[in-house]
Structures are given as C-alpha cells and as structure tokens.
Structure 1
Amino acid sequence: MATIKSSFQNMVLTLFAVTLISATVLGFVHSLTKDAIEASKLKAQNEAIKSILPEFDSLGESWKAAPTEGGDSLTFFPAYDASKNLVGVAVKTYSKNGFSGLIELMVGFKPDGEISGYQVLEHKETPGLGSKAQAWFSNETKPKQNIIGKNPETTDMHVSKDGGQVDAITASTITSRAFLEAVRRAYDTYKNNLPAAEEEPAVSSEPESEGGES
C-alpha cells in the first residue's frame, strides 16, 4: 500500500508542477504579446479615423458617451480644420447582435450628420458572407446598399426586409441588421453629443489612444 500511496502523491505533485509551469509560460507569453496587440489595435483605429473623415488638420481630445438606450459607451474622435472648425467626428460603435456576436465599427459623420465613411474594426462573422460588410455598404454602384453620403436623419438605416432603405448583404441579413444597428447607435449618440464636439479645442495632429474605461 505504501507504493500505491507514494505513486498517488507523485502524480499529484507532477500535475501541480505541470500546471504551475504552464501558467507561468502562458503569463510570460501574454506579457510579451500584450503591448504588440494593443499597438496593432491602436494603429488600426488611427488608420480608420483618417480613412473615414473629411480631410482635417487636427484632432481634439476623445471622449465617451453612453447610448440613450443604455449599454457600453461609445468613443468620439472630433476632427478640426486649421481654423478650429469641426469638420467631422469618428464614432467607435458596436452591435452585439451579429451572427457570431460582436461587430465593432468606426463610423464618420460630418457636422450635419451625413455619413462620411466607415471601417469594420472587428467581427467574427462567416467568411465570405458576413465579412462582406466592409465593401457591401460602400458600393457606389448600388445606391440601396451604399450608406456613404447619406444621413440617418433622412434615410431609414434598417434593412429593406424590415421596412428600411438599405439592402442587406445577400444571405447575411443578421449581419446586416447588426451592422446598421451599430450605425444607428453611433448616429443617435453623436446627435445627442454634437455640442461637445463643436466646443472641443483641437489639441493633436494625430489620432491618439482613447484611454480610460467606459
């Protein structure tokens, strides 16, 4: 019986040692890659802001605001010309109702609410179907797909199947609904916070990290 007891103790000790080593290695790898991952996300965010807004000279301080319906806060990046006039605001928005969950967008608005551009920042939609969102809703040859240049105040940003004015991605209605939900959330929150953007002084020539937590 002593031999059995000894073997059991050895197994427990070995298992503990393997678990401890694995946890240490995982923690070390995470610490090595964390900064690189954050830097990559920040770079993508900055490139998105530049690509979706009208030409600007500087950015003001970003800020956050909660949607009127509740939920996670959205982040705003106001952009100004050389005379400190607001030329547009990039809004980091989201929907949690995609086919595979979270869809995160950056949507640009001109001061009058017209959509100047958008970028899909993150999604887990089906490759070849839901992943078409980036190109689908900016197709200049298909006016009922293209949301660029349209104002959510005068264009119903729901899919045609739901009575709206935007054609859904073929075979990806759920993704399309989520995408347009994120756009509407961005616009509604933007509209309610536009005075803050108009009063914000421009302080930076480059997009910066949004900082803080919602």
Structure 2
Amino acid sequence: MSTEGSGNSRTIGSSMWRNSLALALFALLTAAILATTEMVTAPRIDAAERAAEQRALLELVPAAWHDNDMLADTYPIPEQHWPLLGLARGGVAHIAKRDGEPVAVVIPAVSKQGYSGDIAMILAVNTRGELLGVRVTSHKETPGLGDKVDLKKSDWILSFNGKSLQQPQRQQWAVKKEGGVFDQFTGATITPRAVINQVLAGLDYFHLDRAALIAAAAAPTLEYNDE
C-alpha cells in the first residue's frame, strides 16, 4: 500500500472518529438540557394541572359548601365498577366534606357512545343521590352540533342539576323525541344521548357503591402535601 493511501485512510478514520465523538457529545448535551428542562417545568405543570382540577371541582361543589381539600380527599373506584363508568384505567372519586361530614362526591365517567369519540365528564352527587351538576371535561364532537355538551357552548348540561334515579323515572332518561325529558340538539341526537346514558350510569354507580363512598367520606381527611 502506498504511503499516500495509508495517509488518506488515517485522515478519514480520524475524521469519522471526531464526527462520532461530536455526535455523542451533542446527544449527551441535548439529553442533559431536556432533563434539566423537565426538572424545572414539571412542578409548574403539576401545579397548573392541580389548579385546573380544583377549578373543575369547585364549579360543581363551590368552596362555600365544603371545608376540605377535595383533590386530596379521594376514594379509588373499585375495578368492578370501571366498565359502568367507562373507565379503562380506573379513577378516583373526590369527596367533599363540611365539618367532617360528607356533603358530595364527584365521580369521573367516560361515555364510549359519542359521535366522534369518547366524551369524558365529571358528576357531582350529594349524599341523597341527587345531581349537583355535570361537566364535560373533554370531547371530540362536531363543532356547532355535538359540542353543545360543553358549558362554554350551551347551557344544556345544566339540565341535569337536581336530577336523580327517581326524578325523572328511568324510562324518561332520554331526549324528548324518544320520550325523555332532555332536549336534543338540532341535527345531533347521538351526542346528547351518549351523555344522558353515561350520567344515568354514573348515578347507578353511586347507588351501587354508596355505602363505601359514604364510609370513605366519613374517614379523617389527610392533609395535602405539595412538596
């Protein structure tokens, strides 16, 4: 092999080694930056998510009605009830208390019957089994039609306030054109039907698990620690 050829090989090899080293150093630096950014932003994100959850709960159970931290006071929903509530990975009910006595329970639920996908919601139920309110927390329903389940678009969701398993009767838990007491949307029946059915299922869950929910509500409140 000529001296010139050997020199070129060494030069190419050295260049490849330097490029590989530079790439490795860049990858390590990028990973370090991402890790540092996550460490800095994670607490802020957690705080923002907690504040959003708190606002959603307080919409249904105002601060004047309870004196505990509903985010900290929770009850894990038993797995056998997950299908009824549409919870693929489970969830927790949030307990509202006043002077140590249970006031209400906020229950998560997900309807799988939406026109464009899942409709996630929370329902607040008082200890008598009456709905204090319902809020849709996420959905993919058609803008201008199915999105009326969102309180920002329509007050339709407020029609659940005060309802229970007894009022109205079960057969009346439907849109009006199907013999029920709830309004349908112009051009959209699937979405309101999906929400109505899931809210009724949520009340069924409360009735089935009421004793455990009330017992959990009667337990001492654990102080929330945000450190």
- TM-score tier (shorter): 0.5 to 0.7
Q: Is the 8 A contact 2:100 2:218 kept in 1?
A: no
In the TM superposition, residue 204 of structure 1 has moved relative to its aligned partner by 4.8
Q: Give the SS at the match of 2:214.
A: helix
Q: When the two structures are aligned, how many residues end up with a matched partner?
A: 203
Matched residue SS, 1:99: coil
Residue-by-residue CA offset, 1:86-124 (whole Å, 9 max, x unaligned): 211111111122122121111111111111112221112
| Residues 1:128 and 1:92: Cα distance change in structure 2 (over 3 Å) | same
Conserved? CA contact 2:148–2:156, under 8 Å = no
Of residues 127, 147, 151, the one that matches 2:164 is 151
Whether 2:58 is the aligned partner of 1:50: answer yes
Select the structure with the greater relative contact order (CA < 8 A; seq sep ≥ 6).
Answer: 1
Q: Name the SS for the 1:98 alignment partner.
A: coil
Distance change >3 Å, CA 99–CA 33, structure 1 → 2: farther
1:146 Cα deviation from its structure 2 partner? 1.4
Cα RMSD, aligned residues only: 4.0
Residue 56 of structure 1: CA displacement?
3.0
* Separation in 2, partners of 1:158, 1:27: 51
Which residue does 2:95 correspond to in 1? 78
Change in CA separation of 1:29 and 1:158 when aligned onto 2, cut-off 3 Å: farther
Contact 2:134 2:160 in 1 (8 A): no
TM-score normalised per structure 1: 0.68
Alignment of 1:194 with 2:210, yes or no, is yes
Distance verdict in 2 for CA 1:139–1:125, change over 3 Å: closer
Paired residue for 2:191, among 175, 197, 201?
175
Residue 50 of structure 1 aligns with an amino acid whose one-letter code is L
Q: Which of the residues 51, 63, 66 maps onto 2:75?
A: 63
CA contact (8 A) 1:129 1:169 kept: yes
Worse overlay, 37-46 or 24-33: 24-33
Kindly provide the amino acid, as one letter, of the partner of residue 79 in structure 1.
A
Q: Matched residues in 2 for 1:176 and 1:26: separation?
A: 43
8 A contact 1:125–1:175 mirrored in 2: yes
- Greater percentage in helix: 2
How far apart, in 1, do the equivalents of 2:37 and 2:195 lie? Answer: 34
Structure 1 portions without partners, runs of 5+: 1-20, 210-214
Task: Give the Cα–Cα distance (whole angstroms) in 2 for the partners of residues 23 and 80 of structure 1.
Answer: 45
Higher Rg of the two aligned structures: 2
Distance 1:122 1:83, change over 3 A: same
**8 Å CA contact retained: 2:125, 2:133:** yes
Amino acid at match of 1:58: D
**Matching of residue 100 in structure 1 with residue 108 in structure 2:** no
